[in-house]
């Protein structure tokens, strides 16, 4: 249910002006909001609640329904700064290369899923990267939570401030954002397990409708909004039980199979992070029970 109590979170904008903003390579700040990477790897209920009246003023961002402790990622390259307040709780400012400032608000402050509010706003509980770190788009920076006046209602409040100035409606930028399949810093080594339905195969490719993803090393299974992911199938891929994957022609299934696909270890690229067609390489695939 949409029961947010998030306030306008009228943060101290002087803090924005006091922080150095990174600039695009080869030039200065553009002043334009670029196409973003979506700020979470998680199932998300998104609607436009920007400007809604709240007890303490106009709502300056978008509230999104997301699971507790969902991975929160950088929406563009830039640098980060920790912040906290009574209303916003644990917060992160991202100063993008474009000159846009983004605010991530109500981040995690719990040590357990029981909403204990005992963790504070610190690295390892709230934040994943050091204060002041330079980050790349799609990199894990924090964990979603319910700190501040969102207590008991985990969600992300997200703001967009072009050129570090006044807020604008983030909704259109979030609607056109590219959703990350997993969170990683560009260049980091990763592999994935993808659960879903095998809907097409052959001609060197496999297409899955994916609803769960797990990242290695160290990741856990995450439920995501169902999305189509096309994997490249190298000649050496283990296709035991799925001979059609090695076929010369492409086959579309009338009754898709429930499978878990494992990708080969690789270095993260922007295309890999957002699951661009053909970028991820299939290592093996196994049948999965629908409830598994």
Q: What is the CATH number of the domain that holds 123?
A: 2.70.70.10
Q: Two tokens at 55?
A: 């007890």
Evaluate whether 110 touches 119 at the Cβ level (below 8 Å).
Answer: yes
Whether 93 is covered by a domain: the verdict is yes
**Could you give the CA distance from residue 105 to residue 123 in angstroms, rounded to a whole number?**
15
Domain that holds residue 69: 14-175
Whether 159 is covered by a domain: the verdict is yes
Whether 2 is covered by a domain: the verdict is no
Are residues 106 and 70 both part of a single domain?
yes
| pLDDT for res 47 | 84
* For the chain, percent of residues with pLDDT exceeding 90: 71
Report the CATH number that the domain containing residue 263 is assigned in CATH. Answer: 2.40.50
Evaluate whether 148 touches 120 at the Cβ level (below 8 Å).
Answer: no
Whether 6 is covered by a domain: the verdict is no
Are residues 29 and 150 both part of a single domain?
yes
Are residues 169 and 210 both part of a single domain?
no
Average pLDDT score over the chain: 87
Are residues 252 and 127 both part of a single domain?
no
Question: Residue 170's CB: how many other CB atoms inside 10 A?
Answer: 27
**Could you give the CA distance from residue 229 to residue 206 in angstroms, rounded to a whole number?**
8
pTM, 2 dp: 0.87
Is residue 241 very low, low, confident or very high in pLDDT (cuts 50, 70, 90)? confident
pLDDT surpasses 90 at 182: yes
| pLDDT for res 148 | 92
Are residues 150 and 206 both part of a single domain?
no
Least confidently predicted of 12-26, 32-46, 120-134, 191-205: 12-26
Is residue 29 very low, low, confident or very high in pLDDT (cuts 50, 70, 90)? low
């Amino acid at each position: 249910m949409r029961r947010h109590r998030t306030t306008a979170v009228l943060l101290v904008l002087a803090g924005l002006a006091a922080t150095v903003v990174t600039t695009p390579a080869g030039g200065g700040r553009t002043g334009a909001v670029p196409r973003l990477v979506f700020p979470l790897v998680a199932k998300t209920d998104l609607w436009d609640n920007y400007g809604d009246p709240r007890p303490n003023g106009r709502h300056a961002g978008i509230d999104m329904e997301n699971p507790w402790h969902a991975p929160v990622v950088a929406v563009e390259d830039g640098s980060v700064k920790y912040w906290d307040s009574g209303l916003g709780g644990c917060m992160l400012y991202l100063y993008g290369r474009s000159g846009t400032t983004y605010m991530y608000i109500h981040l995690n402050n719990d040590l357990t899923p029981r909403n204990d509010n005992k963790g504070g706003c610190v690295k390892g509980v709230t934040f994943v990267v050091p204060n002041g770190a330079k980050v790349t788009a799609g990199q894990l920076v924090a964990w979603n939570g319910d700190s501040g006046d969102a207590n008991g209602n985990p969600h992300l409040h997200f703001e967009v401030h072009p050129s570090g100035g006044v807020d604008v409606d983030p909704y259109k930028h979030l609607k056109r954002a590219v959703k990350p399949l997993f969170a990683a810093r560009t260049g980091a080594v990763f592999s994935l397990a993808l659960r879903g339905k095998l809907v097409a195969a052959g001609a060197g490719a496999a297409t899955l409708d994916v609803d769960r993803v797990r990242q290695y090393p160290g990741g856990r299974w995450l439920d995501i909004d169902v999305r189509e992911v096309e994997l490249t199938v190298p000649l050496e891929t283990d296709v035991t039980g799925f001979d059609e994957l090695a076929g010369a022609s492409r086959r579309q299934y009338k009754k898709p199979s429930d499978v878990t696909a494992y990708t080969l270890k690789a270095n993260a690229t922007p295309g890999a992070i957002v699951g661009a067609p053909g970028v991820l390489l299939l290592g093996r695939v196994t049948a999965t029970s629908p409830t598994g």
